Amino acid sequence: MTFQEDVKSACLGMMCLLQAALVGSAVAYVVFAIIFLVKDYSVCGDASPLWVFVLVTLCAPTFINYLRMQNQSPDSREADHVTPFAAGLLIICELVTGGTLIYGKGHVCENMKHTGLWIISLIMFWSILSAFFIVVVALIGTYLAGQVGSNVGTDTVVNLEDASNKI
């Protein structure tokens, strides 16, 4: 084997390991969320607002995938504009609701703050918030790169005499 083949196989192995770690953590995330939903259901009465937040946040990706499948035709290459808008709106609603429930005063009973459901709701809120900011920064960067890229290659001639007369 050459050095390049060794590097390629090492990179492939690392990518497989990273993917396995991501899938494993996502499965653990869902499993623990379901365990805490069942275990902490009646801590503050039946279905506290925090319990509903965790349930909705856990089910939201299924709803977004359902929308994507409904708006996508197999033979069309058109861009789907409904799904990203609906997903963004749902994520903003989750952030507002989660932030209000977790950090607002009096929205959650004190007994709930000592449960696994409280911990998983914090993890959900901060992971959604960080993913939201990553997507927003990526969209802004893509837009700005497109603006800069559209100006590259244009032949702009500057007349120095006109510029010096204006000064």
Please tell me the predicted confidence (pLDDT) of residue 31: 92
Number of separate domains in the chain: 1
Query: Is 107 within the bounds of a domain?
Result: yes
Please tell me the predicted confidence (pLDDT) of residue 126: 92
- Model confidence at 96, pLDDT cuts 50, 70, 90, reads very high
- HEC readout, the chain: CCHHHHHHHHHHHHHHHHHHHHHHHHHHHHHHHHHHHHHCCCECECCCHHHHHHHHHHHHHHHHHHHHHHCCCCCCCCCCCHHHHHHHHHHHHHHHHHHHHHHCCCCCCHHHHHCHHHHHHHHHHHHHHHHHHHHHHHHHHHHHHHHHHHHCCCCCCCCHHHHHHHC
Query: Is 136 within the bounds of a domain?
Result: yes
Query: Is 71 within the bounds of a domain?
Result: yes
pTM: 0.69
Note down the domain range covering 43.
Answer: 3-151
Does pLDDT of 102 surpass 70? yes
| pLDDT tens-digit readout, 15-41 | 888 898 888 988 998 899 999 888 888
Query: Is 50 within the bounds of a domain?
Result: yes
